Structure 1
Amino acid sequence: MAARPKTICRKVGCGKLVDTPGYCEKHVKQSSGWVRSNGGQTSAQRGYGYQWQKRRERILQRDFGLCQIKGPSCIVVATEVDHITSKARARELGWTEEQIEADSQLQAVCGPCHRAKTQAERGGAV
């Protein structure tokens, strides 16, 4: 019986040949369909623990649960809280953590607007 031809790794742009259809050793973790972007840290380890959850609820109430960005794909109902000036940009400007996390730097947003704003802040990269 003839050997089965090798296939290309399913990771877009990888190009490595594999014996069975799927992912190469480097990308095998992506076989579950998603990859964690948080480096394996919990939300609390990333600074979004109990105090953040309380602040988040306060901001959503302050903005009456309405998206403050109101972009083209806005669904109006805010379920997330966004840093108006991104944390990375604020650190570049020399802001303190207190300034970065001040309520005046937070706004209620819907998911689609939050994703679009974050993508734009990253230069269009996902």
Structure 2
Amino acid sequence: MAARPKTICRKAGCGKLIDAPGYCAKHAQLAVGWVRSHSDKSSTERGYGYAWQQLRKRVLSAAAGLCQIKGPGCRYVAREVDHKVNKAKAREIGWTEVQIDDESNLQAACTACHKEKTRSESAAG
């Protein structure tokens, strides 16, 4: 049987030849959609301590516990809070931490919608 031809890594601009379609070892984490970038820090160390938990409760309560994204596959019951303008983008355009975590930049989200929004933002970035 003839050997299968090598393919190029799916990461734009990589160009590394690999045996099977997908990503090379360097870019393999892109296959799952997002990378946990702060695995060595606790939620409090990442800025999600007591003050964030209280803000989260207010946002979920204001939305009556319903997802505000309402994307395909929406579960409707919000258990998470999403930054409308994600933290990385907000910092990039010069927002302060207070502006980033302002209630006007937060929305209640079901897990499915939050995961999809985060995935699409990661793919676009």
- What TM-score do the two structures reach when normalised by structure 1? 0.69
Output the amino acid matched with 1:79: R
* Paired position in structure 2 for 1:69: 69
Q: Which runs of 4+ in 1 moved over 6 A?
A: none
Matches within 5 A, 1:94-109: 94-109=94-109
Matches within 5 A, 1:29-40: 37-40=37-40
1:58 aligns with 2:58: yes
* Paired position in structure 1 for 2:4: none
**2:114 partner SS:** helix
C-alpha distance in 2 between matches for 1:86 and 1:62: 20
C-alpha distance in 2 between matches for 1:37 and 1:92: 17
C-alpha distance in 2 between matches for 1:79 and 1:110: 6
Structure 2 CA distance for partners of 1:63 and 1:36, relative to 1, 3 Å: same
C-alpha distance in 1 between matches for 2:114 and 2:92: 21
C-alpha distance in 1 between matches for 2:124 and 2:85: 16
**1:116 partner SS:** helix
1:41 aligns with 2:41: yes
Q: Give aligned-pair identity as a percent.
A: 53
C-alpha distance in 1 between matches for 2:36 and 2:86: 20
* Paired position in structure 1 for 2:79: 79
**2:91 partner SS:** helix
C-alpha distance in 2 between matches for 1:37 and 1:82: 17
**Runs of 5+ unmatched residues, structure 2:** 1-22, 26-34
C-alpha distance in 1 between matches for 2:46 and 2:52: 11
Output the amino acid matched with 2:47: G
Higher RCO (C-alpha under 8 Å, 6+ residues apart): 2
**2:77 partner SS:** coil
- What TM-score do the two structures reach when normalised by structure 2? 0.69
Aligned residues: 94
| Structure having the higher Rg | 1
TM-superposed deviation, 1:37: 4.5
